[in-house]
Structure 1
Amino acid sequence: MAINGIQFQKGLSLPAFLRDYGTEEQCEALFIKARLPDGFICPCCGHGAAYEFKRRELRYWQCGACRHQTS
């Protein structure tokens, strides 16, 4: 299994961790940035614009062109 870059950051102290990941909103924003570093790109058609919505506490993106949904 590959080493996770977020999990094994060198020199990440507890205060630094709490500063960067201390709230659920911070964790979610950093996770999305890691998951979509270049922003949303549809896996079906390659379009770069999407609508974001939540359903049952889960976040989804729907492609603006083909309406493909991904999470």
Structure 2
Amino acid sequence: MVPVARDGTAFIPELGNSRAYTIGPKGEERKVADYRQALQELRAMPKACWRRPNDAGNWGIVTAVRWEMRPITAA
């Protein structure tokens, strides 16, 4: 299960930035090097939040609105 934001973007292995994943709400963000560890930490959050690039390539924080079963093909 992976978290999915309102805009339909999911927390996927390709979201690593500089060899780390940035997770957590604004002001409490932290970097986690391993995708599976980051996913585990997202599952433990009251509201899963992570950074991902938008269509313009700017990295912003999104919050999960649902969880979906998706295969993890990399990481």
Give TM-score scaled by structure 2 length: 0.24
Instruction: Specify the structure having the higher radius of gyration (Cα).
Output: 1
Compute the TM-score of the two structures, normalised by the length of structure 1. Answer: 0.24
Higher helix share: 1
